[in-house]
Structure 1
Amino acid sequence: MMQFLNKNLLLLSIITIASGCSSSEWQVSATPSDVAVEAALDNEPDNALLKDIKLPEQAALPLPTSVRPCCAFGSGQKVKLGPIPVPFFRHANTIELDDIGAHAFEAGSFSHQKSAPNAGRSGENNGLVYTLKGGFIDLAHVRDTADNAVALFYRIQPYLGEAQTIELPFEIGPRTIELAAFDVSELTATERWELAASIAVRLAYSMAEAHEIAQYHGYRSFSPWTEDVSAYSPEDLYSNMLGAKIALAVLTNNLAMTRQQYNFHMTAWIFATIAWLDPVSAQQTDAMFEAIDGYWWDSNEPLPNKFMLLKRHYELGDEQSPYIVPKGLAFISKSWPAISALYEQTVEPHELQLANLVHGIVIDDVAKQWLFVDPKFSASFDHVPASLWQQGFTQEQFLELSRYNQTRDQAMLTEHLAKYPKLPLAKQLKQADSSNQGHVNEAN
């Protein structure tokens, strides 16, 4: 069994290495407009006019065709391949700040890059890290959304204001981004650049939301392995939006004109952002997972069982709040001595938001992601009204569709907990029901 697993893991590693090494280089040379040249030759150059540059049509980058292997929520999970548990294997995936490696655009797991011009090469070392302000962060999600944002920016900026269709990789069906025509004649060069960046990061984030939906409805990046367990994982969308926010900063500062430049600055921005969110050690992240074991996830369930994950996040949208481990759960856990110091001072969770109105343009009015469901996935939508998805849908329907998935999941989770009444979450819900029933009886 282990020999079979090792062969498959080796094959998967070779595929991943190949995909990581095949990323195209890019180097964008912007052409100054006549306005910029005239400003440059003026005795007192206007810095705003100097920014009036044009990106060439060939600046378009290929969109990443696959996502990085993300980390299943939890620590040291058991793993099974098909119906057979895999012995002696657990998925350890927690890291700390100093473990974070160099960013690599459209990287495979084994891609090695320099973190700075004078630094040595390293892998990305993706994993989960707990932060006091941002809860659990999945670095693969951060990086994926940032990469998509940069690729979209170089598709959008040269044609800003023109109608355009951008083909996206197939997941559970064909996907496109449809950009409508709109007037940009009154915008300055800086405003056009900022608007293009804002549209790109908002669309990249909506691609991440679409991926959560796709995973729920049967998408698999590795066909023998269901990804249902990862759908709507509580840390996913906050991590994706974090990547979108970082990409917006990098693009706004014009730090992605070459692949190498982008990788250097993304590396610095990711490190600085995680540091700002107050990360804990890898051992403390493990202790946090131990504190919520049986409540948010179940260490007894092997991957990829759906109810290895007990808590999910269905609130899609442009405002995301982190999941912070409550002190009450931490206090009653065996891991309390390792994490008690983290609760000695109050730290406010940091909420994230992506702007929809930028320089007078409502982004969702002019930029939509369209998804169409391939017939082989249509059965997975049986619990969703056909009017919501059968003729295709956009990001405007993502939240409503996810609510139907949430209702279905809650019923399935109730059935699962009934089979495992000793699970802490099952006991907690039973106590809550008893308490509520007592209040009802008192009221009567």
Structure 2
Amino acid sequence: MKKTILILLLPFLCAARIPEGLDTKTPPKRIIRTCCSFGVDVKVSVLSFLKVTDITSLSAMGDHTFMGNKAEKNGIIYTHKGGFIDMGHLRDIADYTAYLFALIKENRNVGLHEFKLGKEGGTKKLNVFIPDHFTDEDIANLAGKIAYDLSAWHEISTWYGSSYIPLVPERYSSFSVEDAYSNLLGAHLGIKAVLSDKPYEEEMTRSILETLHYLGAVQTEEETRQAMNDVKDIWWSGTAKLPSRKVLIKRQFEILGRVSPLVVDSDLRGESEYDLLVPEFASDGKKLTDYYTLQIKTSYKIPVRKVLGFTSRERYITQEDFPALIEYAEYLATTSEQPQELSSAR
């Protein structure tokens, strides 16, 4: 029987805390921490002598710092119950949750408010309304939900051609087997940290180690390397070179609502899978999506007309359109068809 660890990660309500030095007027970068390519000793196409391995261990991991620093020693670590955890992804979404918590809390009494969240596959805008009866826990769950939505959009937009570095495609890492679980775990830990009575960074540092132990994290980098090699040529290719999309053989498209960790075959036992739930409801029983809209004016790389049947030149979508775009991405992953717009849409 699968366990769902959402409740285990939520704290008892205490005084809400936000990171020191957080500036709500400056949204975090789309990618705060650069991490990670799935696999070990993965070759790079234009630099044949270079091999990429992004793994870490419990002993190497440093304290959490809001917006990151080199001392964190991020990378991928294997856990027997939670699969592969990308620490860069986890920390990024936790920090984005803290930022959105502070932003929404600061503007809770201004009615409907609009926030600009930068560009990625289009221009992102958040419209949010917070009623007077919302508690800090409601705001924290809302912030975690939006932060996770933004991480889902990153997977979607990079699949269809959006990239951080011009001319360097990121589709090779879209819907990677560790991304969704790491992102959602980061949202839950971010929620827990902002609701703690301890300083945000201290709570994040403690919660990260506690949660990794709970999920059965391996002790050494060599053990994570071995787990990677256990799924070599099953989940990732030992011959494809970055940034080829063929590096990833297996991808995880079930990223909305409930996310199950993917573990290696030797860990496929009765209670080895610990699911996570995306925050869904406020304390008043209404859906969190009743209180916000993540609106994106998409670039022409996103096939909104082909997938959603849009005829408008404005090309606006919201988080409600994500399931259809993910379903089409999964379809493309099983065919030779490339993710591109119809010629009439160009």
Short-chain TM bin: 0.7 to 0.9
Q: Secondary structure at the match of 2:125?
A: strand
Q: Which moved more, 1:219-228 or 1:135-144?
A: 219-228
Residue of structure 2 in register with 1:294 after alignment = 233
Cα distance change of structure 1 residues 302 and 59 upon mapping to structure 2, 3 Å threshold: closer
Q: Equivalent residues in 2 for 1:359-374 (5 A)?
A: 359-360=283-284, 361-374=286-299
Residue of structure 2 in register with 1:395 after alignment = 319
Q: Secondary structure at the match of 1:90?
A: strand
Return the letter of the residue paired with 1:367. Answer: Y
Task: Say yes or no: does 1:89 pair with 2:12.
Answer: no
Residue of structure 1 in register with 2:331 after alignment = 407
Question: Is the 8 Å Cα contact of residues 229 and 304 (structure 1) preserved in structure 2?
Answer: yes
Distance 1:245 1:215 in 2: 24
Q: Secondary structure at the match of 2:51?
A: strand
Question: Is the 8 Å Cα contact of residues 217 and 381 (structure 1) preserved in structure 2?
Answer: no
Task: Say yes or no: does 1:77 pair with 2:38.
Answer: no
Cα distance change of structure 1 residues 52 and 308 upon mapping to structure 2, 3 Å threshold: closer
Residue of structure 1 in register with 2:216 after alignment = 278
Return the letter of the residue paired with 1:91. Answer: V
Question: Is the 8 Å Cα contact of residues 112 and 128 (structure 2) preserved in structure 1?
Answer: yes
Question: Is the 8 Å Cα contact of residues 15 and 197 (structure 2) preserved in structure 1?
Answer: no
Return the letter of the residue paired with 1:165. Answer: E
Q: Secondary structure at the match of 1:174?
A: strand
Question: Is the 8 Å Cα contact of residues 61 and 154 (structure 1) preserved in structure 2?
Answer: no
C-alpha deviation, 1:381, in angstroms: 5.4
Residue of structure 1 in register with 2:26 after alignment = 62
C-alpha deviation, 1:97, in angstroms: 1.2
Q: Equivalent residues in 2 for 1:13-162 (5 A)?
A: 60=24, 62-67=26-31, 68-81=33-46, 86-107=47-68, 111-112=69-70, 123-160=71-108, 162=111
Question: Is the 8 Å Cα contact of residues 315 and 399 (structure 1) preserved in structure 2?
Answer: no
Task: Say yes or no: does 1:172 pair with 2:172.
Answer: no
Distance 2:63 2:328 in 1: 39
Question: Is the 8 Å Cα contact of residues 218 and 227 (structure 1) preserved in structure 2?
Answer: yes
Residue of structure 1 in register with 2:263 after alignment = 324
Question: Is the 8 Å Cα contact of residues 96 and 282 (structure 1) preserved in structure 2?
Answer: yes
Residue of structure 1 in register with 2:309 after alignment = 386
Question: Is the 8 Å Cα contact of residues 162 and 170 (structure 2) preserved in structure 1?
Answer: yes
Return the letter of the residue paired with 1:268. Answer: R
Under a length normalisation based on structure 1, what TM-score does the superposition of the two structures give?
0.66
C-alpha deviation, 1:412, in angstroms: 2.5
RMSD: 2.6
| Aligned with residue 229 of structure 1, among 172, 196, 203 | 172
Task: Say yes or no: does 1:315 pair with 2:239.
Answer: no
Under a length normalisation based on structure 2, what TM-score does the superposition of the two structures give?
0.84
Distance 1:254 1:60 in 2: 21
C-alpha deviation, 1:347, in angstroms: 4.5
Q: Which moved more, 1:263-272 or 1:143-152?
A: 263-272
1:110-143: CA deviations, max 9, x gaps? x25xxxxxxxxxx111111110110010011101
Q: Secondary structure at the match of 1:249?
A: helix
C-alpha deviation, 1:149, in angstroms: 0.6
Question: Is the 8 Å Cα contact of residues 216 and 231 (structure 1) preserved in structure 2?
Answer: yes
Task: Say how many residue pairs are matched.
Answer: 317
1:54-85: CA deviations, max 9, x gaps? xxxx973522123121211111111123xxxx
| Aligned with residue 353 of structure 1, among 240, 263, 277 | 277
Q: Secondary structure at the match of 2:334?
A: helix
Return the letter of the residue paired with 1:159. Answer: N
Cα distance change of structure 1 residues 126 and 75 upon mapping to structure 2, 3 Å threshold: same
Residue of structure 2 in register with 1:33 after alignment = none
Distance 1:383 1:368 in 2: 23
C-alpha deviation, 1:181, in angstroms: 5.6
Question: Is the 8 Å Cα contact of residues 260 and 275 (structure 2) preserved in structure 1?
Answer: yes
Return the letter of the residue paired with 2:126. Answer: I
Return the letter of the residue paired with 1:156. Answer: I
Distance 2:113 2:282 in 1: 19
Residue of structure 2 in register with 1:247 after alignment = 190
C-alpha deviation, 1:317, in angstroms: 1.0
Distance 2:16 2:84 in 1: 40
Distance 2:253 2:16 in 1: 42
Distance 1:359 1:385 in 2: 33
1:302-353: CA deviations, max 9, x gaps? 11110110111112313111001113xxxxxxxxxxxxxx78x864211111
Return the letter of the residue paired with 2:275. Answer: E
The percent identity for this pair of structures is 26
Cα distance change of structure 1 residues 411 and 254 upon mapping to structure 2, 3 Å threshold: same
Point out where structure 1 has 5 or more consecutive residues left out of the alignment.
1-47, 113-122, 256-260, 328-341, 414-444
Q: Secondary structure at the match of 2:293?
A: strand
